[in-house]
A and B are shown apart, each in its own frame.
Chain A
């Protein structure tokens, strides 16, 4: 585990000295700022008498504005993890040190989760702004962030797997975009299909996931899904890295 910590520290260090980190974080904040402004405007103009929708529940997954940027930002954040090491040749130095593939992957994954957190921590200010002009259900805000964290657990794991499979960073980003886009599309099936398929799509839906968490409902079925996908993707990443030695 100590090796995983060393790998994670290096990954974060190199991420936060790269221009990429600041381009991503700045554009993310511009994007979420605009989203929050649009939603606040919308709810201010259309005083919704019924329902539990608020600018904050809208912000946390109530609209496609939440997911579409994530489908781009997640691949950009995760594409470097293993693919950059493979491209620059440093993977050879890393894998000939006395460090197991398991430690490497967990270290990289830990770094990815910290990157995910840095995307979201500044958004707390939107809850604070709302609280200055109206009432905020802090329980729902808490469960929204918990939902965001759980979503990150599986988004980042999928991105990590794609970065482990792909020969280059660009291919890793494209693969992650396709994988997450497909998972997003499956969720849309909830509104199109009938019967059992509809149930399955609802269960897999990231939209449904965030919709429930943003209302303060922590649905354990979504948690089971998030953690299973994350564990599967991390496990597969370890297996892919191990298999590389036999390439």
Chain B
């Protein structure tokens, strides 16, 4: 699970994330919403140890992710936005490389399992750079799953997927419900409604809502209200 306390990140004079606090319980699937530039990716990068916070605390599975970053990173699988991959490698080579980097014992079995889970077994001998965007996205997901981490952090996981792939992805994530904690950022509201138990909304670096979802939640109206209200007054 994730515990975030008063997390801030400053780039020069700009405060990208401003004292954000939240908790994600074990087995929960939580959506992280916000307009473009709200600080979603910066927050995820701090959770995964790619960026150090300016202030605040992060605990991943009870481990202080700022002080013991390496240990915290063993507990999570991360799929960054745009899914950067080594394009010259074959899919199975890439996954074996990542398994070795993550010190996965019995790498062969782990690679086979990740290939099946992400639905990329049929392209395992193909060169990553020659795959379609949808497949590359799923190779990124296979990579995040390779060490069988208890926590998955996914940044815009369905951007670039076709409707069928989006459906498969949603089914896969829903299938993790209870067994893995999933924290995913997106700005596709229907996706959140389809897979998430709860949603955290940020705007201009601040948390503006933390809502448990049910069938009746009018997410679209709520999002519009939370992320646009007040903007007219703020602009000169």
B89 A95 Cβ-Cβ under 8 A: no
Give 1 or 0 for each of A85-106: 1 = CB within 8 Å of chain B CB.
0001110111111111000000
Give Cα A6–Cα B49 distance, bound, in whole angstroms.
20
Q: Write the A140-171 contact mask toward B (1 if CB under 8 angstroms, else 0).
A: 00000000000000000000000000000000
Q: Is the interface of B mostly helix, strand, loop or mixed?
A: loop
Give 1 or 0 for each of B66-90: 1 = CB within 8 Å of chain A CB.
0000110110101010101111110
Q: Categorize the interface residue count of chain A.
A: 20 to 34
Interface status of B156 (Cβ within 8 A of chain A): no
B88 touches A17 (CB 8 A): yes
Q: State whether A93 touches B88 (Cβ < 8 A).
A: no
| Bound Cα distance A98, B76 (Å) | 9
Q: Given that A6-B97, A99-B101 are known contacts, is A247 also in contact with B86, CB under 8 Å in the complex? A: no
Within 8 A of B (CB), among A1-52: 2-3, 6-7, 9-10, 13-14, 17-18
Please give, as numbers and ranges, the residues of chain B lying within 8 Å of A9 by CB-CB distance.
97
Interface size on B, as a range, is 20 to 34
Q: Is the CB of B50 within 8 A of A245?
A: yes
- Minimum CB–CB distance for A193 against chain B, Å: 43
Say whether A10 contacts B97, CB under 8 Å: yes
Given pairs A89-B82, A90-B86, 7 additional interface contacts (CB within 8 A): A10-B97, A13-B93, A89-B80, A90-B84, A96-B73, A96-B80, A98-B73
Q: Is A133 an interface residue (CB 8 A)?
A: no
Contact status B84-A247, CB under 8 Å? no
B73 touches A92 (CB 8 A): no
Residues of A within 8 A of B (CB): 2-3, 6-7, 9-10, 13-14, 17-18, 88-90, 92-100, 245-247
Could you tell me the dominant secondary structure of chain A's interface residues?
helix
Contact of B84 among A92, A97, A246 (CB under 8 A): A92
Instruction: Determine if A14 and B84 form an interchain contact, defined as CB atoms under 8 angstroms apart.
Output: no
CA distance A6 to B48 in the complex (A): 21
Q: Which of B51, B74, B78, B100 makes the CB contact (< 8 A) with A247?
A: B51
> B86, A14: Cβ atoms under 8 Å?
yes
Q: Name 6 interchain pairs, CB-CB below 8 A, sorted by A.
A: A6-B100, A13-B93, A88-B87, A92-B84, A98-B102, A247-B11
Residue pair A3, B88 in contact (C-beta under 8 Å)? no
Ranked 7 nearest A-B pairs via Cβ: A89-B84, A96-B48, A98-B73, A245-B52, A6-B100, A98-B74, A90-B84
CB-nearest residue of chain A relative to B48?
A96
Asked if B103 lies at the interface with its beta carbon under 8 angstroms from chain A, I say yes
Q: Residues of B contacting A90 with CB < 8 Å?
A: 84-86
In the bound complex, CA of A95 to CA of B74 (Å): 12
Does B98 make an interface contact (CB < 8 A)? yes
Among B45, B82, B86, the residue within 8 A (CB) of A10 is: B86
Closest to A2 in B: B103
Residues on B with beta carbons closer than 8 Å to the beta carbon of A94 = 101
Contacts of A93 in B (CB 8 A): 78, 80, 84-85, 143
The one of B78, B87, B89, B101 that contacts A3, using a Cβ cutoff of 8 Å = B101
Q: Which residues of B contact A92 (CB under 8 A)?
A: 45, 50, 80, 84
In the complex, the chain B residue whose C-beta lies closest to that of A10 is B97
Complex CA–CA separation, A95 to B102 (angstroms): 11
